[in-house]
Amino acid sequence: MVVTDSPRVKGRWLALGILVLGVLLVTVDATVLGLAAPFLAEDLEASGTQLVWIGDIYPLVMAGLLVSMGSLSDRIGRKKLLLVGASLFGLVSLLNAYATSAEMMIAARALLGVAGATLMPLTLGLLRNIFHDPRERSLALGVWGAAASAGNAAGPLVGGLLLEHFWWGSVFLINLPVTAVLVIVGSKVLPESRDPNPGPWDLLSVAVSLIGIICVVYAVKEQLVYGYGPHVAVAAVVGVVCLGWFARRQYTLASPLLDLRLFRERGVLGSVLANGLATMGLAGLLFFLPQFLQLVQMRSPLNAGFMALPAAIGTIVTGLLAGRIARRIPVRAAVGGGLAMVGLALAACTFLHAGTPTAWLCLALFCAGAGGGLAFTVTADVILTAAPKEQASAAAAVSETAFTLGEALGIALFGSVVTAIYLDFTMPAGIPADAAAAARDSLGGAVEAAIRLPHGQAQALLTAAQDAFTHGFETAAALAAAVLFATAATIWFMLRGQRLEDATECHRD
């Protein structure tokens, strides 16, 4: 890899600010739509399944393209692709804001995922080229990690502030000024870097990996919501075959999109596993908690959005301190402890109900944010130090793919659990057929239908629907907590001996 332009000492911190903007764009958009789900259900007449796809398709497409876009940036230049991706992100945000149907929204979110895939891997790749001093790079990585995790946590807050005063499309329009700043300032301060001899970009690998990931997640979703069917089996087989084909092909290419030998490094494998499974557990919480707050506890969008503030604060604090913490205690203790904190937060969500105090929610969300900020920032540092220097960008793309794929699988898996349990609730007697059909579709539909019913019937319908949704949410939270605790125990062994002090080798605890 050759760096064609080296920034000045003062310029690199401004460049970091621009890269943080790119990270925030992608991560905030992953969760900002959660509070808008009730409005989408009403305005776009989106069903419960369509709402899940609206939330899921964005990280799903992005996960399938991260490695491919990282490889493409090696060929045309990271800065160039970052600026193109930011411009595309702004244009597609307009399409999302003015979508007129659920199907159009799903397609627009998919295109936004394509744009997001051009941003995430390049921010970390450019960071590695901008900061050559290990200590400065560790601090910059802490800022980057805090921004990445805080963006996910802050999405509901941003959404709540906007939805309190504007229509749901405003959550996409805020991307326009951010992308404008990113493109204008980034073109001046970001250095260009590329691989001088990258080899050809294998389009077949791009297509096969994307198809494989989409088919696998689709199969998981359909199986859990509707049960086994021929289409589920076909999707699962196609997905597994495509991913297997992709892996086999990478070993035969002179310039693979993904060098699978990276996974021989225990630190890389353990960190990727931690990122993927932890994000999978958190994704369902962040996607369905806003619906619980608005439609079960009946909070306003702004009030529900502010409930994400403790998680954002926890993430920022531990993200900035992560490098220092992981140098004072074993890396495996930092990562495992962070994952256990997230698990505790998810376990606390199994006790939620309509009357759960705000203080309890704030404590659980702060714990989730602090644990996630610590774990995700340290694993990113571990990957950069454990992987060979010449493969650092590829390792970063793998980490972000695990992160984004975990998000997609989490929404699909735990979202499907919530949906399946909700669909099974017992409809109160005497509810008109049209109101019953709307209530079966989604909790938002039940709230909307109850408005047109007599008080007694409305209360009975709301209670049944809210209890079913809460039960589904609690069940999903319990499963997610079990995943996080198991991951924390596994990481304790997999990251044994990892240290952050030396970027070229690992030491024993």
User: H/E/C letters for each residue in 22-48?
Assistant: HHHHHHHHHHCCHHHHHHHHHHCCCCH
Q: How high does pLDDT run on average in the chain?
A: 79
- Calpha distance 382→397 (Å, rounded): 14
Question: How many C-alpha atoms does 171 have within 13 Å on its Cβ side?
Answer: 31
- The alpha carbon dihedral of 224, 226, 227, 233 has a sign of negative
Indicate whether 74 pLDDT > 80. Answer: no
- Calpha distance 438→444 (Å, rounded): 9
Name the band, by pLDDT with cuts 50, 70 and 90, for residue 354: confident
- The alpha carbon dihedral of 116, 81, 96, 150 has a sign of positive
Mind listing the pLDDT tens digit for each residue in 150-175?
676 667 677 777 777 787 888 888 88
User: Which two tokens mark 406?
Assistant: 């975990």
Structural fold of domain 2-202+253-494: Growth Hormone; Chain: A; (1.20.1250)
Per-residue confidence (pLDDT) for residue 503, from 0 to 100? 43
Per-residue confidence (pLDDT) for residue 152, from 0 to 100? 67
> For residues 375 and 258, which has the higher predicted lDDT (pLDDT)?
375
- Calpha distance 414→482 (Å, rounded): 12
Name the band, by pLDDT with cuts 50, 70 and 90, for residue 502: very low
Indicate whether 499 pLDDT > 70. Answer: yes
Residue that is written with structure tokens 């608005």 in the block: 294
Indicate whether 341 pLDDT > 90. Answer: yes
CB-based contact 57:109 (threshold 8 Å): yes
- The alpha carbon dihedral of 32, 35, 40, 43 has a sign of negative
**What is the DSSP-derived secondary structure letter of residue 132?**
-
Per-residue confidence (pLDDT) for residue 508, from 0 to 100? 38
The residues spanned by each domain of the chain are: 2-202+253-494, 203-252
φ/ψ (deg, to 5) at 505: -150, 165
- Calpha distance 290→292 (Å, rounded): 5
Radius of gyration of the chain (CA): 22
Indicate whether 85 pLDDT > 90. Answer: no
Mind listing the pLDDT tens digit for each residue in 33-69?
766 777 777 777 777 777 777 877 887 788 778 777 8
Please report, for the chain, how many H helices and E strands are present, in that order.
Answer: 20, 2
Indicate whether 485 pLDDT > 90. Answer: yes
In one-letter notation, the amino acid at residue 241 is V
Per-residue confidence (pLDDT) for residue 189, from 0 to 100? 80
**What is the DSSP-derived secondary structure letter of residue 425?**
P
- Calpha distance 423→506 (Å, rounded): 50
Reduce the DSSP state of residue 57 to 3 states and report it. Answer: helix
Residues whose CB falls within 8 Å of the CB of residue 357, separated by 6 or more in sequence, listed in order: none
Mind listing the pLDDT tens digit for each residue in 265-300?
777 788 888 888 888 888 767 778 878 888 888 887
User: H/E/C letters for each residue in 215-281?
Assistant: HHHHHHHHHHHHCCCHHHHHHHHHHHHHHHHHHHHHHHCCCCCCCHHHHHCHHHHHHHHHHHHHHHH
Output the CA–CA distances (angstroms, integers) from residue 178 to 114, 172, 383, in the order listed.
Answer: 18, 11, 29
Name the band, by pLDDT with cuts 50, 70 and 90, for residue 428: confident
Name the band, by pLDDT with cuts 50, 70 and 90, for residue 2: very low
Q: What mean pLDDT do residues 427-435 have?
A: 83
Q: What mean pLDDT do residues 451-456 have?
A: 84
Indicate whether 5 pLDDT > 60. Answer: no
Mind listing the pLDDT tens digit for each residue in 389-415?
555 566 677 777 777 677 767 877 787
Per-residue confidence (pLDDT) for residue 150, from 0 to 100? 67
Select the highest-mean-pLDDT range: 96-105, 399-408, 494-503. Answer: 96-105
Indicate whether 232 pLDDT > 90. Answer: no
Name the band, by pLDDT with cuts 50, 70 and 90, for residue 195: low
Indicate whether 343 pLDDT > 90. Answer: yes
> For residues 157 and 460, which has the higher predicted lDDT (pLDDT)?
460
Continuous H helices in 190-202: none
Per-residue confidence (pLDDT) for residue 481, from 0 to 100? 92
User: Which two tokens mark 433?
Assistant: 């057929």
- Calpha distance 184→205 (Å, rounded): 33
Residue that is written with structure tokens 């401004």 in the block: 14
Q: 284-288, 415-419, 431-435, 457-461 — which is least confidently predicted?
A: 284-288
